[in-house]
Amino acid sequence: MDKHIQISGSEREILPNARKVDQANPNEKISVMVIMRRHSVEQDTFAEMNERQFSKAHYTRQSFANNYFIHPDDMKILQDFADDYELTIKETISFAGMVTLTGTIENLNKAFSVEIAEYEHPHFRYRGRNGYVHIPERLSEIVQAVLGLDNRPQSKAHFRLLQSGKMFMRNNRKPASFTPIEVARLYNFPENIDCSNQCIGIIELGGGYRPEDMEQYFSKLGVPAPEIVDIEIDGATNSPTGDPNGPDGEVALDIEIAAAVAPNAKIAVYFAPNSDSGFLKAITTAIHDNVNKPSVISISWGAPESNWTKQAMKAMNKAFKDAASLGITVCCASGDNGSSDGVEDGSVHVDFPASSPFVMGCGGTQLEGTNGSITREIVWNEVNNGATGGGISSFFKTPEWQKNIDFPNGSIQDGRGVPDVAGNADPLTGYQILVGGQEYIFGGTSAVAPLYAGLVAILNQQLGRSIGFINPILYQFSSEDNSFRDITDGNNDTVGNGSYAAGVGWDACTGLGSIDGKKLLSALTTYYSTNMILN
């Protein structure tokens, strides 16, 4: 009999307010994702990518796939393990270090020394486990994570639907709303750019859209409806219900903003189950999609770092690092519950995946403007209608490109600061979005991720190259030019301890500030010509 050992960082707890109702059916077959160590043909050029700042060219998807692989000896060890426990290898994505195993719950319980059970939560039922995942010692050097034994909903969509009756902002002014094109104009995005050579990837963990809504929405805007491609992963599908306050609201918000901002860009929507393994599979599929080839990915789903297992965050961060090495920019919403990120323990928290150092974390502001000009922009914090997420990661260390920023007093000093940038997110100054044939006003940092994904598509089109991992450059620009509108008024405190206040320069509410699109394009043009960086 194998001696099993714990996988570090795999511990799960029963969800608050959930209770065990039964053992899982031992004969039910499920799939789990095993994350394996990878080998490379060449030395890992991108191992220190956050410090090299594009000193070398990006991989192509094909060259990446040719370079990274699971070693055959490691696969033999995993195959022997699977055979011993009557499990089947269903799929292997060697360059991503990802293997899918299927088997009965009874055999998976034995293989990973867990007890899978059925749990009932006030809002849903889920298959779960409690404690650590264990693996035989023979796998200890080659297996980094095992995901999917637990299928609890992992993430939430970070949007806010303006509810009727919430008619006044805290300054007692009536709410306003904008089309995405109007917001892009306020942020000085380059206009009338044909982005037909670009593809924007969008991750969705639920819901769907109706093609007729898209035709109606873009017809009203006066721009062509985009080509939308659905990529359905592990049984998830484009499944619209028409409910604007459910996942459909997120899907519509993402597509309509991104496509309005970047006309004629293809939109690739990756539908996946809302679990840790489903989320990772969606990201991996998008990054390595050699058909649609997205140059930028928008993610508006997430959860507090404390809701994730460490093994899942490590695995996803590795995927985001892969995206960086492939020249793909990833934009992630920073959350809609302020400095607490919705955790009711009296402490500050940040949202993942926005806290990954390999993504551009997108925070939120309240934006007012007339005649194409911004008249006022402050931190988004409406006591009863959301606040921008932001703070200091307790999991990821401070990346090199954030070493020179001033962290808030009393915060964790050695942590990744969130967000990097911000944009209009207050539903009281929100976006006009069509869902189920009806127009609604939406806000949330969910709107900012596709907004800036659209901007990245424009920049890629204009520059004739993929920007890719842009964070080090953004922080370099912040001290050199005026590509950002610094937000110095407001806070995102939802804990009650003053964390965090806006200030001059980077802050944990709005990052470097909102982006001036044309000025950023000019700065990037100069940067690339000066550094002679090749694609």
| Residue 250 is among the residues annotated as catalytic for this protein | yes
3-state secondary structure (DSSP) of residue 166: coil
| Residue 240 near residue 248, CB atoms below 8 Å | yes
3-state secondary structure (DSSP) of residue 516: coil
- What is d(CA 410, CA 413) in angstroms, rounded to the nearest whole number? 8
- β-partners of residue 93 are 98
Write out the E strands in 219-300: 228-232, 266-271, 296-299
Range list of H helices, 124-246? 180-186, 211-221
Q: Give, as one character, the DSSP assignment of residue 122.
A: T
Tell me which residue of 503, 518, 512 sits closest to 484, measured CA to CA. Answer: 512
| Residue 227 is among the residues annotated as catalytic for this protein | no
| Residue 505 near residue 478, CB atoms below 8 Å | yes
Provide φ and ψ at 327, rounded to 5°: 80, 30
Residue among 204, 254, 256, 322 flagged as catalytic: 254
Provide φ and ψ at 73, rounded to 5°: -65, -40
Residue among 248, 250, 289, 351 flagged as catalytic: 250
CA 341 to the chain's CA centroid: 15
How do the residues of the chain divide into helix, strand and coil, expressed in percent and rounded to 5?
30, 25, 45
> In the structure encoding, which two tokens stand for residue 368, read together?
């007012």
Residue among 177, 298, 339, 446 flagged as catalytic: 446
Q: Which residues are marked as active site?
A: 250, 254, 446
